[in-house]
């Protein structure tokens, strides 16, 4: 099978599962956020904050194009994407040429909890270390963070479902290894159905 490209909302487990899948498949692992930093010298969050959305989308597109060019259609890899790549058609197009999109569908509560766990507070109580789409709405407390995330989650679920070749529902109560087995099973089924084995 061609490369496996993991899509999903922030904190759904793309990097964790991606590294495990790459090790299991004996192939390299890449994270598009890391590729952006290698290309620009800045983290995606820095680019977004300092230069704005358009600059970030451009950097993401260029990083994905370079990665796709490096791998080509022959070299198999596992690639974890940033949570917002679903709104970057050019970046998606570059990656889809070399692999299949796998949507890691994590439940809302798990993803929200991971965002809440990463919150840091200034001395005046201001929340820091939030994803830009939440921080931009200036939430005053954790309840508001969860409410903003809920609307975002619902919107993104529809987009990911439309984009993906394979959808895998990750189980909150399952171990990382059990969830990896679910992904592998879904990929095998996809290959059989599409005569790609």
Q: DSSP letters of the chain?
A: --EEEEE-STTSSHHHHHHHHHHHHT--EEEHHHHHHHHHSS-HHHHHHHH-HHHHHHHHHHHHHHHHHHHTTTS--EEE--TTGGG-HHHHHHHHTTEEEEEEE--HHHHHHHHHHT-EE-TT--EES--HHHHTT---SHHHHHHHHHHHHHHHHHHHHHH-SEEEE--TTS-HHHHHHHHHHHHHHHHHHTT--
Statement: residue 197 has pLDDT above 70: no
Q: What is the mean pLDDT of the chain?
A: 90
pTM of the model: 0.88
Segment 62-73 shows an average pLDDT of 91
Statement: residue 196 has pLDDT above 70: no
Segment 172-187 shows an average pLDDT of 91
Statement: residue 193 has pLDDT above 80: no
Q: What is the pLDDT of residue 74?
A: 73
**Tens digits of residue pLDDT in 105-154:** 998 988 899 899 999 998 888 898 888 788 889 999 999 999 999 999 99
Q: What is the pLDDT of residue 61?
A: 97
Q: Grade residue 1 by pLDDT with cuts at 50, 70 and 90.
A: low
């Amino acid at each position: 099978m061609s490369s496996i490209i993991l899509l999903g909302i922030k904190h759904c487990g793309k990097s964790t599962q991606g590294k495990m899948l790459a090790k299991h498949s004996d192939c390299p692992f890449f994270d598009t956020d890391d590729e952006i930093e290698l290309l620009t010298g800045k983290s995606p969050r820095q680019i977004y904050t300092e230069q704005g959305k358009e600059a970030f989308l451009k950097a993401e597109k260029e990083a994905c194009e370079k990665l796709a060019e490096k791998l080509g259609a022959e070299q198999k890899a596992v690639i974890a994407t940033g949570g917002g790549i679903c709104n970057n058609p050019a970046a998606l197009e570059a990656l889809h040429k070399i692999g299949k999109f796998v949507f890691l569908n994590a439940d809302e509560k798990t993803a929200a909890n991971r965002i809440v766990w990463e919150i840091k507070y200034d001395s005046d109580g201001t929340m820091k270390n939030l994803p830009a789409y939440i921080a931009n709405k200036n939430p005053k407390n954790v309840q508001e963070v969860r409410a903003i995330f809920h609307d975002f989650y619902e919107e993104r679920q529809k987009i990911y479902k439309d984009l993906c070749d394979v959808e895998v529902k990750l189980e909150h109560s399952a171990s990382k290894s059990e969830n990896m087995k679910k992904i592998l099973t879904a990929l095998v089924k996809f290959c059989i159905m599409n005569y790609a084995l």
